[in-house]
Structure 1
Amino acid sequence: MLKMMTFFQSLPSQQPMPETFHFPGSPPKLRSVSEAESETSMSEASSEDLMPPLLAGVAPGGEEEETAKKEKKKPKGLANMFSVFTKGKKKKKKGQPSSTEPESEPKTKPELDGPMPTVEELKEALELGRLEAARPLLALERELVAAAAAGGMSAEELVQRQSKVEALYVLLRGQVLGVLRRPLEVAPERLRQALAVVAEQELEDRRATAAGPRAAELAATRPRCWLQLWRGGVAEVAAERLAAPPTTGAEGLSEAERVFLHMGRTIKEDLVAAVERLKPLFPAEFDVVATYAKSYHEHFATHLSAMAQFELCERDTYLLLLWVQNFYPNEILSSPKLAGELQGIKLGSLLPPKQIRLLEATFLSNEVANVKELMTRALELESQRWTKDVAPQKLDGHCHSELAIDIMQIVSQGQTKAENITPDVGRQIKQVLLVEMARFLRSYQHTFDEFLERGKQLKNYRANVIANVNNCLSFRTSMEQKWQIPQNPSSHLLDPLNELKGHSFDILLQNLFVDLKPLFKKFTQTRWAAPAEILEEIFTTVFGRLPEFSELQDCFQKELMEAVHLHLVKEYIIRLSKPRLVLKTAEQQQQLAKHILANAEAIRDFCTKNGSPATWLHLALPTLAEIIRLQDPSAIKMEVATYAISYPDFSKGHLSAILAIKGNLSSSDVKSIRNILDIDMGVQEPSRSLFSLISIG
């Protein structure tokens, strides 16, 4: 494959493509037709008012002055000859549109009120740019055809006369097409004259075609196809305008951006000029707006097609797609001044659909690879700060890391670039970026787990742990808001963040739980004789450690307090399930149930006051107290069945440990009560674990 380093200079990475395409400035306003028609001569027309910086060729220089000089010297007979075009016509009122529509039925011979001018007079008139000579020239051509058909003239004389007529047509064609090549540089009346000549020649082409072949002595000169020649001239002007070097003033843009911006601005300004300034002057049959639109479109498409043949660099691929799929159709063709005029013109796409799909696939591959590389680099830099024991930033009193912000910006930029091409490309890249995001989060979790194991001796270890827990909030919020990540058990995209947070909580709470372990042992050591004092000591220990977690985000402080709440309930149940405690009388069981209820209320109040949202734990201890208090096996069965619905991980082993406290239950009653858990109550897997964290035996 032919390969080039880049079609243009590489686009600077600091210069993002604009989300919206703007063309500064607008073409000068054309004076009204009525104002222009009131001018008495071509020399009085203001070229500044009539010529914007578009649709213009080379300025005619001293052509007008030279024409004026020649007109002063023209013979009197020539002036009489041109008077035939104005005799019998009424003076047009100011503001009345001048009709350039030719007659629907051409006359056999143009009407001339004066004598037929000679070839020499016509030649002089055409050299002076007098387009009025077109009609007597047409009459001369018709007379020649009639003479050839009638016979009586030698073939040599016919050829000689035709050569002179054709030479005059060459002069006329040059004058007419020259005017139409620079339509905004000439007075409107002169433009109408040129348009009328072309229209008349088109009619003559059709008349001659209908009349059949000429006499054998005459060369075939019809159809002359001047309308087609005019369209070819428009295409040449379009090529020249678009190929012109970009104007200065586009500092900071790459060569490719300057070229595209120049072409886009030129197309938009020139088409607006065609709509606003040429359409009112051109006959409908010229279809002037469509002609200009197609010419500019075809040249732009040719340029882009040539560019697309090369193996483009990433930036040029994106730039090409951006113009083909977004800027050109949306910001130019659909701009307010052009949308209505171009609606019925089928310009099509600048590139074939197959080529666009290939470019889009290349863009997606390149962009996803870039996103992946940037995310990997960002994680590497962040992990280096952990291992180098760099303290995290503080933001509003919370430990803060920029990792989540950096990653989401990287992903969002890739998403935005794709959406700037088309919404469909945006949807395509979203699915791929979600996959890459899941891979990154898993890599992030593994990298952080390694730090949790190896960095425990570092001074800023806990601060960095807290900062990364806070990162989870930034990740989760950004992904839920931007991508509407579904919040249901089947969505595993955020699982790595949940695992990272859980491992971090284990680290942060590890010392506290170690301190609480001997306090909970006192429950069984005192045979539950002084539970209130023990709980007070536990609460004092927990409360003293809470300031260590103040640098967590508020939501994570609540989640961490929920973990503490769960630990207190779990440890209490573990101590309650120890086989040493056996109560054989109903009074003893009721007294223990009373203690459990009081303890459950104290734990709930303490944890709730300090931010725990774990209302799901509120029934864990009171229901166990009720099972211990009840004496009727049937009532116990109902309580156990209800309890299993609230806590699906409550197993027969856990139930047996609680029933062991009731020393007055027979083995058959115990078995009957245990069998309640064999009944399928349609309970789903627990979303939160309690008894699965408690080992029995």
Structure 2
Amino acid sequence: MPLLKKTPKEEEEDGDPFAANPESRYRRRATLERLVGLAPFGRARRPPPKDEDGDGGRARRRSEDFGLLRRLPGRRKASVEALAERPVPKRSSLLRLALGTRGRRGSVGERPPTVESEEVSDGDQDGGGQRQEGEVLGHPEVGALLQAQALGPLLPPETQRSLESSCIAAVKAKVEVAVAQELQLSEDTWAEEASSEELQEGLATRVTGLLRAHVDRAPQITPEFGMEMAHSLLGVLVAFLHSFQRKVERFLEAPGEATPPDGATGRAIALVNCCPPFRTFAERLAQFGHPESEEPRRQAHAALDKVTRLCNHVLTQRLFEDLKPYFNKLMKRKWLTSSDAFDTIVMLITSFTQKLRPLRPEPYQVLVSEVHRRVLIEYVRPLLQVRLVCTSAKMRARVAARLGDEARQLRELFSRLDSASPWLDSVVPRLRELLVLEDTAALQMEVGVLVRDFPDVRRKHVAAVLDVRGLRSQAARQEILGVVQDLEQNETEPGLPRQRAFFSELTVAREVRCLPFHLPRLARLSRLRLRRPHPQRPGQARL
């Protein structure tokens, strides 16, 4: 019996169990596609990625190639074999496919490969998330409910201030104990052989480190809290510096039992080197802008200045003890013909400054400026003591020439030492001019310049220089000294502290009056012997 050939429509209906219900067929096909890792039905397909082994990997294929509706038993064996060769996705891959990217944890390298990860990169997934977020926030109905503003504090202001005050008080109490312990541990090592670096590391660095730890963290909460914390720690630093000052004062002023001079110098250098880090940190705490930080800042600087002066006194005491006998030889007749005493002074100062190399730049500048001032004071002192009186114009020229030459050497010396007080270099040249000038008006003008440059100069100082000059005319003296007297009376603020004090440390016992005769004549008179009156004889009658 001849076989009847079926029409294509009838053949498709025999192999398709969902021919009667097309809608069920579409849902079934979409479900099968998702299970095998295919894109939704009807979407555009991407070219299959190439595998490194060259076998083509797991490539997406069109739905009709798999014959989804031909997988019933007995239908298209070739299509079933092709389906069996395709690797089935793991259960975890299907779970990740259902949960999406939110269920994933770990780094990109730790994620197992999935169907979606083979086609979509991490950058594409992140971009998709951002696009989804932008779509949600940009939706008119959602955007109307959102307001971009900062969240307010969770605690009431009173509660927050109370917590901040409690925290600051606790930190202050803790830090006070810690810095006191550091100071005590450091003081126990001052009498030992410790280098300057060890003392600085053991005191300045550790103390500032304890304070810095809280200063750096507090502003991260709020700027106001950081300012209050800095002000509180500035008070802690001031109390510490006062205690440090007292301990240094007791240590340096205590009579040394068997401490060699070099050991005292090393300890003084180590202690004064602690001041710059403390000074810098006090400035940093004051810069937080608390309205009451100026007074603690001033107290901190005052304590450090006192420590610096104490250490400088110890460092320079031995120097000026060695210089004293050579200063006593200046401004005498032998000084006019020999420069040995002055050359020794320069040599001792140069040798002393070689020992100051361990000093930090700041205390070094302070110390060299102080040495500069004291050296010039000791140099001018014998001049004002009127050890030498000029008896002629030629002698005045010799004295003025020697003063000018030695003033130049002192200026060059302290310039090499980087002194921060160049204003001191003009004191000797000003006094020298009072010996050289001849006209009274020129002398009056020079005295006015001297008073302008050195406001602490007084009438007795100028009178002593006029005595060295040998000025005997009382009228000329009164005219010249009247300039100083007028300038003293015109001072509007006599109690104002002088920034350039020099002559105030040079005392003149009394105003010396120049005698109306030459010293050689006085010397001859002193050698005359006065004849003693003979006693009357008992029998001699009186006339």
Q: Is the 8 A contact 1:404 1:474 kept in 2?
A: yes
Q: Are the structure 2 counterparts of residues 431 and 665 from structure 1 closer, same or farther at C-alpha, using a change threshold of 3 Å?
A: farther
- Determine the structure 2 residue equivalent to 1:686: 498
SS at match of 1:508: helix
For residues 656-695 of structure 1, the aligned pairs below 5 Å read: 656-677=463-484, 678-679=486-487, 680=490, 685-695=497-507
1:590 equivalent in structure 2: 397
Q: Per-residue displacement from partner, 1:282-315 (whole Å, max 9, x unpaired)?
A: 998996998xxxxxxxxxxxxxxxxxxxxxxxxx
- Give the 5 Å matches for 1:627-638: 627-638=434-445
Partner in structure 1 of residue 106 of structure 2 = none
Q: Residue 276 of structure 1: CA displacement?
A: 9.0
Matched, 1:383 2:195: no
What is the one-letter code of the residue matched to 1:355? T
State the secondary structure of the residue aligned to 2:152: coil
Deviations 1:160-183, CA, capped at 9 Å, x for gaps: xxxxxxxxxxxxxxxxxxxxxxxx
**Is 1:432 aligned to 2:232, yes or no?**
yes
Structure 1 equivalent of residue 383 of structure 2: 576
> Which AA in structure 1 matches 2:395?
Q
Length-normalised TM-score, structure 1: 0.49
**Structure 2 residue 266 is matched with structure 1 residue 454:** no
Residue 279 (structure 1) shift: 9.5
**Helix, strand or coil for the counterpart of 1:493?**
helix
Q: Is the 8 A contact 2:234 2:282 kept in 1?
A: no
Contact 2:336 2:402 in 1 (8 A): no
Structure 2 runs not aligned, ≥5 long: 1-26, 45-94, 100-128, 510-543
Inter-CA distance 633–484: structure 2 relative to 1 (3 Å threshold) = farther
Q: Does 1:343 find its partner at 2:148?
A: yes
Q: Tell me, what secondary structure is at the counterpart of 1:648?
A: coil
Counting only pairs closer than 5 Å after superposition, residues 16-27 of structure 1 correspond to structure 2 as none
Give 1:261's aligned residue: none
Q: 1:281 to 1:657 in 2, by over 3 A?
A: closer
Secondary structure of 2:498's aligned partner: coil
Aligned pairs (5 A) from 1:75-224:
none
RMSD, aligned α-carbons:
4.2
Question: Residue 517 of structure 1: SS of its match in structure 2?
Answer: helix
What amino acid sits opposite 1:351 in the alignment? L
Whole-angstrom CA distance in 2 between matches of 1:573 and 1:592: 13
Kindly provide the CA deviation profile for residues 469-491 of structure 1, in whole angstroms up to 9, marking residues without a partner as x.
112222234444665599x9994
Preserved contact between residue 332 and residue 388 of structure 2 (Cα < 8 Å) = no
TM-score (norm: length of structure 2)? 0.62
| CA contact 2:164–2:225 (8 Å) conserved in 1 | yes
Partner of 1:19: none
Specify the alignment match of 1:442 in structure 2: 242
**1:357 is matched by which residue type in structure 2?**
R
Note if 1:562 corresponds to 2:369. Answer: yes
2:275 partner letter: C
Q: What is the letter of the counterpart of residue 431 of structure 2?
A: L
- Find the aligned partners of 2:332 and 2:464 in 1 and give their Cα distance: 18
- Pick closer, same or farther for the CA change 1:527–1:458 going to 2, 3 Å: closer
For residues 370 and 39 of structure 1, what CA distance do their matches in structure 2 show?
A: 74
In 2: Cα distance, 1:513 partner to 1:543 partner:
13
Separation in 2, partners of 1:439, 1:574: 41
CA distance in structure 2 between the partners assigned to 1:93 and 1:454 by the alignment? 100
* Counterpart residue number, 2:525: none
How far apart in 1 are the matches of 2:31 and 2:429?
107
CA contact (8 A) 1:386 1:464 kept: yes
Distance 1:288 1:38 in 2: 39
Match of 1:474 among 264, 277, 300: 277
Confirm or deny: 8 A CA contact 2:326 2:341 kept in the other structure: yes
Report which of the two structures shows the higher radius of gyration computed on alpha carbons.
2
Q: Give the Å deviation of 1:40.
A: 5.8
Q: 1:369 aligns with which of 163, 166, 173?
A: 173
How far 1:519 sits from its partner (Å)?
A: 0.7
Superposed displacement of residue 567, structure 1: 2.3
Matched with 1:523 is: 330
- Which residue in 2 is equivalent to 1:653? 460
Distance 1:608 1:443 in 2: 37
CA distance in 1, matches of 2:452, 2:29: 97
1:515 and 1:282 map into 2 onto residues whose CA distance is 86
1:603 maps to 2:403 = no
Q: Which has the higher contact order (CA 8 A, sep 6+)?
A: 1
In 2: Cα distance, 1:343 partner to 1:412 partner: 37
Q: Distance in 1 between matches of 2:204 and 2:466?
A: 50
User: In 2, distance between residues paired with 1:687 and 1:409?
Assistant: 35
Distance, in Å, in 2 between the alignment partners of 1:508 and 1:471 is 15
CA contact (8 A) 2:459 2:481 kept: yes
The equivalent of 2:267 in structure 1 is 464
| 1:336-380 CA distance string (max 9 Å, x none) | xxxxx7724x75322112111111111122222222222222211
SS at match of 1:494: helix
State how many pairs are aligned: 390
How big is the shift at 1:573?
Answer: 0.6
**Whole-angstrom distance in 2 between the partners of 1:555 and 1:283:** 62
